[in-house]
Structure 1
Amino acid sequence: MGQVKKDGSSWYFVAELPKDPITGKRKRKKQRGFKTKREAEKALAQVEAEVIRGTYIEPTNTLYKDYLLLEWFRGKKATINSQTAKSYENYMNHRIIPKLGHIPLSQLNVMVLQNYIYSLKEDGLASATIKKIYNIIRNSLEHAKTLELLAKNPATNIQLPKIEKTEMTVWNVEESKAFLHIAREDRLYVAFHLAITTGMRQGEILGLRWKYVDLEKGVIRICQTLSHDGKEFLVGAKTASSVRSIKLPDETIVLLRKHKAVIARERLQVGQEYVDHDPVICTSKGTPILPANLRRTYARLIKQADVPAIRFHDLRHTHATLLLSQGVHAKVISERLGHSNIKTTLDIYSHVLPNMQDEAAKQINNLLSNSQ
């Protein structure tokens, strides 16, 4: 039976805990610092209720930073690719640990975490970035709960800032043609052409190898990417659904045949110094193109073509919106982009759909008019 006692001007409680399973000795929990007797009694009742239910967990003194790095991340990084692991480490070392790392794991509560999320928003971080940081915290604390270091996950009830959708910027047909016309003489033209005609991501384009290109069938297989720093090829893609096959337009097949012939001549000219990793997009010596160099060339060509400046990733959006505007079914586009389901595609490109309503109305009008 627990007790509540006064100690000077404050109160404390002593609770009877279950016996130690190893020594068989009865344990007690003492907690001080309550301003009133009622507060102490309420806290004692909560502990006793948890003991009866068998859900009581002795608070740990382990700091969150030690648990995060030495326990959670050590196991987590074995289940994710190296690029994602680097992203996690960056968020932990630069965002999470400086603010929360010194707090004991058992003292991370809803108020502490909610104030932390507010501080990220005040620092000007984008809502999407805050969500990524939050997911690391939530996932790590859920694991702590599984290990019975926490009775519950305090991150579960955190309120995240609303993700504000930014207006998507894409090129229309004329702008896409203008850019490709200017880029045609550049060594990296194939990369830009693939981005617009297939919707591939930057890492997928730079990580594409010839062994995954079937020019006879006109199909490429996406099952490898180049890391953001350009130092390694990563097996797989961004998600499981991103591993996919894409049918190529005839013009792209012709372009790739010519490009492959150029690379073959360069390999002979360079000789033994040629680094043959088999990438479709590479330097004259066979080494992969660094993402930063691709973006630098891309920015230069945009100025020369005098078209609106959009991100390289927006070429992927351009591919999708061009197809939607031509009446291609969203399911087909979803498969080309490697989305997990068609709902993702419709959510991203919902802005295009209202413009297609007019065309749909015209089509049904023509059908009915011609039938009369």
Structure 2
Amino acid sequence: MSRQLTTRRGRSWGIVRRSPGGSARRAEREEGPAVASIQKRPDGVWRARYRDDAGKEHARHFQRKVDAQRWLDEVTTSVVTGTYVDPKTAKLTVGEWCDLWLVGYGTRRASTVRQATVHVKVIKEHFGTTRLSAVKPSDVKSWTVQLRQTYAPSTTYAIYRRLAQVMGDAVHDGIIPRSPCSRRTAPAQGQQRPYVATTDQVWGLYDAFPAHLRPAVLLGAFVGLRVSEAAALRVSDVDFMRGIVSPEIQYPSEPLKTEISRTPVPIPNELALLLSRNVETFGATTVVTNEIGRATSPWAIERAMRAHRGDVEGLPDGFRFHDLRHYLASLLIGKGLDVKVVQTRLRHGNATTTLNTYGHLWPDADESARSAVADVLAARADSLRTLEA
């Protein structure tokens, strides 16, 4: 089996193939990135040139031949190691690349693009005029420190992840050889333990909400739906006889973000009866409605939450509709259900998310470990007493 070597003969480069017997023979020159040359111009300046994969020629001029050769060697090394970048595209700024990136990102859902646009605006405020290839890991780390002074830890992490995504796509396009974002530059996520409402507080919210929005509280606290899922839940998505809620869309009428979000959720007959009463009263195509029996919106539900959470004793000022999911998680964990069951009911993508968010809610973790060790020691002591007897 032959292998190819890139060598230099005289002023130009060629391809040498080594035969199975070990002898080398000069191959026919191939036009492409391996073709390069150094020539001395009449004015005494050395002209180094090469052609890239697209056949495009690049040239630089040097006062000394050794400098020209060093430049060609660096280019060749980058080609061999896969870190070659077109010199012209290397001049692209972060702001210019972000604008191009957003155009390609526009195929996502509108809400996702809006969020990305907000993140990109923050990125461009700091790195906009910087060349894409000039951003160093140390620059990213110092930038995240500045972000923490303005934004919450979770927001800072989200903006950083957007920069990592943008830079990763630049690497994929061959614009830069490597991304400045890595585990070493990532800021802390700043995850906080969620507030878990009591059962009395949940029913307090239910009673305080307007009648047409009360099913939203039930869907959040006992089904675990997110606010956009609760607002868009259709009557046809609920099997009232068998007691199954099957989320299919989110507001206004878009697909759910993940396949796991479409997991059917079993509900008791008592909950199905409460939901069906609202359907009978307002006669809409959705389970949650507005005042005149038409489909409502996530903003209307959140607005009601802000208006009435102060009516319930003990609820914090920042209590959101999403916090009702935390109540469901604590309810299931308190009944002794394992992490896989809780993950499925909350429709998390993996058990790690469930454990990271609710691991502290599993009861008696320390006592169970202490008891397990104590049982072994007690058995050992009983064994020794038996032998002594």
Q: TM-score, normalised by structure 2?
A: 0.73
1:22–1:308 Cα change, 3 Å? closer
Q: Which residue of 2 aligns with 1:106?
A: 133
> Is 1:50 the counterpart of 2:78 in the alignment?
yes
- Whether contact under 8 Å (2:48, 2:69) holds in the other structure is no
Alignment check: 8 A CA contact 1:170 1:317 kept: yes
Q: Between 139-148 and 296-305, report the one with greater CA deviation.
A: 296-305
Query: What secondary structure is seen at the aligned counterpart in 1 of 2:264?
Result: strand
Amino acid aligned to 1:82? A
Other-structure match for 2:222: 197
Contact preservation (8 Å) 2:196, 2:323: yes
Could you tell me whether the CA contact under 8 Å between 2:247 and 2:264 is conserved in 1?
A: yes
1:317 is matched by which residue type in structure 2? H
Partner of 1:252: 271
Separation (CA, whole Å) in 2 of partners of 1:167 and 1:54: 44
Task: Look up the equivalent residue of 2:359 and give its one-letter code.
Answer: S
Among 337, 348, 351, the residue aligned to 2:357: 348
> Structure 2 vs 1, CA of residues 66 and 258 (structure 1 numbering), >3 Å: closer, same or farther?
same
Partner deviation per Cα, 1:62-108 (whole Å, 9 max, x = no partner): 222222222x2222232x32211111011112x01222122222322
Which structure is higher in RCO with an 8 Å CA cutoff and minimum separation 6?
Answer: 1
Contact in 1 for aligned 2:212/2:289 (Cα 8 Å): no
- Is residue 215 of structure 1 aligned with residue 246 of structure 2? no
Separation (CA, whole Å) in 2 of partners of 1:185 and 1:361: 49
Q: Which aligned runs of 4 or more in structure 1 are off by greater than 6 angstroms?
A: 39-45, 359-362
Conservation of the 8 A alpha-carbon contact between 2:140 and 2:185: no
Aligned partner of 1:63 in structure 2 is 93
Structure 1 residues 51 and 201: alpha-carbon distance in aligned structure 2, compared to 1, 3 A threshold? closer
The structure 1 residue matched to 2:291, chosen from 284, 291, 303, is 284
Q: Does 1:28 find its partner at 2:45?
A: no
Aligned length: 325
Superposition RMSD in Å: 3.4
Q: Does the 8 A contact of 1:220 with 1:247 survive in 2?
A: yes
Q: 1:323 aligns with which of 293, 312, 332?
A: 332
Q: How does 1:221-232 map to 2 (within 5 A)?
A: 221-226=246-251, 232=252
Contact 1:194 1:252 survives alignment (8 Å): no
SS in structure 2 at match of 1:67: helix
1:246·1:336 contact (CA, 8 Å) conserved in 2? yes
Cα distance in 2 for partners of 1:245, 1:235 equals 15
Share of identical aligned residues, percent?
Answer: 23
For residues 157-201 of structure 1, what are the alpha-carbon distances to aligned partners after superposition, in whole Å with 9 as ceiling and x for unaligned? 651222233232112233334443x33763311111221111111
Matches within 5 A, 1:87-236: 87-93=115-121, 95-122=122-149, 124-156=150-182, 158-180=184-206, 182-183=207-208, 186-226=211-251, 232-236=252-256
Cα distance change, pair 361–324 in 1 and its aligned pair in 2 (3 A) = farther
| Aligned residue in 2 for 1:84 | 112
Query: Residue 351 and residue 132 in structure 1: after superposition, are their counterparts in 2 closer, same or farther (change >3 A)?
Result: same
Among 310, 332, 347, the alignment partner of 1:338 is 347
Task: Note the C-alpha offset of 1:218.
Answer: 0.9
Asked if the contact 2:48/2:61 (under 8 Å) is kept, the reply is: no
Does the aligned pair in 2 maintain the 1:225–1:233 contact within 8 Å? yes
Distance 1:263 1:106 in 2: 59
Q: Which moved more, 1:251-260 or 1:304-313?
A: 304-313
Q: Which amino acid aligns with 2:98?
A: L
Secondary structure of the structure 2 residue equivalent to 1:288: coil
CA deviation vs aligned residue, 1:196-228 (integer Å, no higher than 9, x gap): 1111111111111112111121111112112xx
Using the size of structure 1 for normalisation, the TM-score is: 0.76
Measured after TM superposition, the shift of residue 30 of structure 1 is 6.0
8 Å CA contact 2:94–2:128 kept in 1: the answer is yes
Query: Please, which runs of 5 or more residues in structure 2 have no aligned partner?
Result: 1-10, 12-36, 39-44, 372-389
Determine which structure has more spread, i.e. the larger CA radius of gyration: 2
Shift in Å at residue 137 of structure 1? 1.7
1:352 deviation in Å?
0.9
Question: Cα 1:45–1:352, aligned 2, differ >3 Å: closer, same or farther?
Answer: same
Unaligned runs of 5+ in 1: 4-12, 33-38, 227-231, 268-277, 363-372
What pairs with 1:293-304 in structure 2 (closer than 5 Å)? 293-304=300-311
The 8 Å contact of residues 212 and 291 in structure 2, kept in 1 or not, is answered as no
Give yes or no for contact 1:223–1:244 (8 Å, CA) kept in 2. no
1:313 paired residue number: 322
Distance 1:305 1:55 in 2: 60
CA contact 2:282–2:292 (8 Å) conserved in 1: no
C-alpha spacing 1:360/1:194, structure 2 compared with 1 (3 Å): farther
Assess if the C-alpha contact under 8 Å between 1:178 and 1:307 holds in 2.
no
